[in-house]
Amino acid sequence: MNDNDVSQTESHAALLARIQGLESQVAQLKETLDVQVETSLRKQMFVPRFDIADAVDTHRFMSASTCGASDLLHPEYRRICARLGIEPRFHRKVWEWAFIIHKLEQAGMLAAGKRGLVFGVGRERLPAYFASRGVSVVATDAPEEIGEQAGWTKSFEHSSSRDQLRYPDIVSNEQFDRHVSYRICDMTAIDKTLTGFDFTWSSCCFEHLGSLEAGMQFVVDSVEQTLKDGGIACHTTEFNLSSNESTLDHGPVVFYRKRDILALVERLQDLGHEVQPFVVAPDSHYLDSYIDLPPYRQETHLKLLMAAHVVTSAGIVIRKNGLRDKRK
């Protein structure tokens, strides 16, 4: 290689490096602009204060299957937050907990002597609250190495022992110990001994099993393997509001489209299980139109932008063999 060739190679490498540097600067500039635009919009958006605004019962609580501001402005939402010992927030994760509690209560599952099973429990307060009602709960989470690899341990979204689920402000340690136990569980291979429960639940877990199909199969297995006849399964997940076509279908997190949820409903019904109608909430409040952008502020977090999709939380409620019972 002569001197000219070397010089051209070095020039080419320098040009590539400069292009890459410019691309990085453009990406950073775009991120900065996104944050500035969100900050500007936030300054013009009034977020109601729960300690000032009155709760108004203008609709049936949790009548839809997806997160909506109207549920968070309902008096029942505040009552549920008080039972959990938390402040009400405009946040989809709190909506999920309220959805699960409300649906299980409607089904008569939160009564003394009932048995519940939770998957991917993280640090939820629900086992403690259910124990305060006299319900026995088997709390499960993924093996610790999975929690560490996924970052859930650092973000306090994974538990490795029963003690991490104690909330003395909700239930005494004595009653908690009587009613709550802990086990490790792989959601893709549910232990055959986990059976005969009155109800089961999970809060935004089954979208982390690697694919759309893996998550849907988990829901089916949770009903068929763990519940007694007439038992209730209540699961929440990530829901794609942007498209009924394009989505994330494989990877650490997947987004379920409406057509995926309806396909799951049909699969469950074909097996004889009763599923509550899946209803996408209308955007009836101006907060329903707000999209939280990364890095997420969490203050108003009903919808968020993730991997170029607008996502919210959705829930599905199933009664084991409910259709078979009706056909008899």
- Which one is predicted more confidently, 220 or 155? 220
pLDDT above 60 (res 233): yes
pLDDT above 70 (res 195): yes
Per-residue model confidence (pLDDT) at position 145: 77
Based on the fold, state whether residues 55 and 40 are members of the same structural domain: no
Number of domains comprising the chain: 2
Percent of the chain having pLDDT more than 90? 70
Based on the fold, state whether residues 7 and 64 are members of the same structural domain: no
Residue 49's pLDDT band, with cuts at 50, 70 and 90, is confident
Based on the fold, state whether residues 30 and 72 are members of the same structural domain: no
Based on the fold, state whether residues 106 and 38 are members of the same structural domain: no
Q: For the residues 57-86, what does the mean pLDDT come to?
A: 94
Based on the fold, state whether residues 125 and 151 are members of the same structural domain: yes
Based on the fold, state whether residues 15 and 136 are members of the same structural domain: no
Query: Distance (Å, rounded) from C-alpha 223 to C-alpha 72?
Result: 29
CATH number of 244's domain? 3.40.50.150
**Domain C-terminal end among 26, 44, 62:** 44
For 167-192, write each residue's pLDDT tens digit: 999 999 999 999 999 999 999 999 99
Based on the fold, state whether residues 16 and 84 are members of the same structural domain: no
Based on the fold, state whether residues 17 and 73 are members of the same structural domain: no
Per-residue model confidence (pLDDT) at position 24: 77
Query: Distance (Å, rounded) from C-alpha 23 to C-alpha 17?
Result: 10
Based on the fold, state whether residues 140 and 36 are members of the same structural domain: no
Per-residue model confidence (pLDDT) at position 41: 65
Per-residue model confidence (pLDDT) at position 284: 85
Per-residue model confidence (pLDDT) at position 278: 96
Q: For the residues 82-102, what does the mean pLDDT come to?
A: 98
Based on the fold, state whether residues 10 and 76 are members of the same structural domain: no
How much is the pTM? 0.85
For 12-46, write each residue's pLDDT tens digit: 777 777 877 777 777 777 777 777 767 766 665 66
Q: What 3-state class would DSSP assign to 3? A: helix
Per-residue model confidence (pLDDT) at position 146: 77
Based on the fold, state whether residues 118 and 253 are members of the same structural domain: yes
Based on the fold, state whether residues 142 and 190 are members of the same structural domain: yes
Domain encompassing residue 230: 49-327
Per-residue model confidence (pLDDT) at position 50: 74
- Which one is predicted more confidently, 67 or 297? 67
pLDDT above 70 (res 77): yes
314 - beta bridge partners?
Answer: 66, 237
Q: For the residues 195-219, what does the mean pLDDT come to?
A: 98
Pairing of strands 136-141, 115-119: parallel
Give the Cα-Cα-Cα angle 200, 165, 236 (nearest 5 degrees): 35
Q: What is the chain's mean pLDDT, rounded?
A: 90
For 97-130, write each residue's pLDDT tens digit: 999 999 999 999 999 999 999 999 999 999 999 9
CA-based torsion, 276, 202, 208, 193: positive or negative: negative
For 127-157, write each residue's pLDDT tens digit: 999 999 999 999 999 888 776 776 777 776 7
Q: What 3-state class would DSSP assign to 194? A: coil
- Which one is predicted more confidently, 4 or 321? 321
